[in-house]
Amino acid sequence: MGVLDFLLSNLGEVSELTLQHVELVGVSMILATTVGVPLGILLTRRAALRRWVLGGANIIQTIPSLALFGFLIPVPVMGGIGSRTAIVALTLYALLPIIRNTYAGIRNVDPAVIEAGRGMGMTDQQLLWRVEMPLSLGVILAGIRVATVISVGVATIAAAVGAGGLGMYIFRGVGMVNNQVILAGAIPAAALAVLADFGLGWAERRLAVK
Amino acid sequence: MNGTVSGPQAVIEFRGAGFSLNGGPARVSGLNIQIWRGETLVLLGRSGAGKTTTLKLINRLLEPTTGEVLVEGKPTTAWDPIRLRRRIGYVIQEVGLFPHLPVDANVGLVPELEGWKLERIHARVEELLRLVGLEPGRFASRRPHELSGGQRQRVGVARALAADPPILLMDEPFGALDPVTRAELQREFSRLKEQLNKTIVFVTHDVQEALRLGTRIALMAEGRLVGVRPSREFLQSSEPDVRAFLDAVSGWDEPALR
């Protein structure tokens, strides 16, 4: 039986797992953006925090994903078996690229533009929302795009902690030593990653300022 | 400096003002000068002489670490920096137009922040674009990257004038332009400033430009003011620092500075 046949004959389950996968990634991206963008902005204002925040996010990034999922299982509130653990782990992974790009995007705004704005009597808030954010939106979105693509891949491991998603097929296939079943999880996951990359890349190009 | 009597016309006054960054060596020190209403004071000097630092002390982008700088009789540190800067137009060499906004939004930004009505902003933007020689119909909706260097600086000047500030600070505004465009903008600006009657502080390292635009020329060297002369008398000055500067810039065997 080919992969295509497998996918077609299990269409119900495939779409359910894909939906779960999208939900895991979507929710964690929204969380990571809500936390990461303000943190990145904060770092441009408070230089003293930079080492700690970027360092912390860097360390999280170095933890192997399977280990991170494992670590979280015994943690109360955040952890346990199920999608909550997966969302926490995915959010943590997504933080670094989002914080880093927000910080870098704002810092890379032409200093002459900032100086002109300050010299004109713009307040810090006005400078941030009317100048710095619009000018760094492309870079910030690039961070979100990278984080999303990574998350689509990492989310396949979420199946190991009972969060569902397309990883279910991959783990099942590995257990059954059945490449068809592995591919039934891997191909839709790869397609999701490509789709996210394409869609966010398009948004990024539209919002980037020449 | 209690003996200094600030005349009613002194719009800007430096009283023993100096600045050093984080306790390092002084960028400028012992600055004493009164700048009169309606005059154009040119700060002249080579790179690193402290001209830009002096300028930034006026709009409080920097605060004096010694002495004080008064604007309209009040120390800059006693002003709300935002209110102070809205009364001072600021033009820099790099222009610093907002690249994501069209020309009209760039020019109209300060009036917008000041809460002007839309029609009034629109009318003001048109008036200013005409004033700096840009046809509003052709230029209002363009983006900065679609303009030439000279056009960009015209927009920069229009933007600085938008809320009709009584003071204008200009930091080598024409320094990055080619000689022909520079001469053209100098000529137009010379006419414009007669029309506007603003108090202008203008930074340059170009003696010709200083002579063309300045009411008075203040020569700076190594963070100090080393001589203030009416432009007419500047070339004739016998002051050693002025002579040294003039000799240095006319070192070539060409009759550039007559």
Kindly give, in sequence order, each residue whose CB lies less than 8 Å from that of residue A27, ignoring residues fewer than 6 positions away: A87
Contacts A136 to B, Cβ<8 Å:
none
Kindly give, in sequence order, each residue whose CB lies less than 8 Å from that of residue A200, ignoring residues fewer than 6 positions away: A141, A144, A145, A148
Provide φ and ψ at B18, rounded to 5°: -145, 160
CA-to-CA distance for B158 and B203, rounded, in angstroms?
18
| Residue B217 bridge partners (DSSP) | B42, B229
Provide φ and ψ at A183, rounded to 5°: -65, -30
Averaged over A68-75, what is the pLDDT?
A: 86
Q: Which of A113, A120, A130 sits opposite B85 (nearest CB)?
A: A120
Q: How far does A122 lie from chain B, in Å, by closest CA? A: 7
Can you give the pLDDT at residue A5? 86
Q: Which of B82, B100, B159 sits opposite A135 (nearest CB)?
A: B100
Supply the angle between the helices A179-207 and A167-176 in degrees, to the nearest 10: 150
Query: Which of these, A152, A149, A171, A150, lies nearest to A162 by C-alpha position?
Result: A171
Interchain contact, B95 vs A112, CB within 8 Å: yes
pTM: 0.86
Can you give the pLDDT at residue A39? 96
Can you give the pLDDT at residue B223? 93
Tokens of A69: 């999922």
Q: How confident is the model at residue A1 (pLDDT cuts 50, 70, 90)?
A: low
Provide φ and ψ at B116, rounded to 5°: -65, 155
pLDDT tops 90 at residue A125: yes
Angle at A160 between CA A157 and CA A164, to 5 degrees: 80
Interface of B with A (CB under 8 A): 59, 61, 81-86, 88, 90, 92, 94-100, 109-110, 113, 143, 145, 156, 159-160, 169
Residues of chain B with pLDDT under 70: 1-8, 251-258
On whether the CB atoms of residues A139 and A108 are closer than 8 A, the answer is yes
Tokens of A170: 């991959």
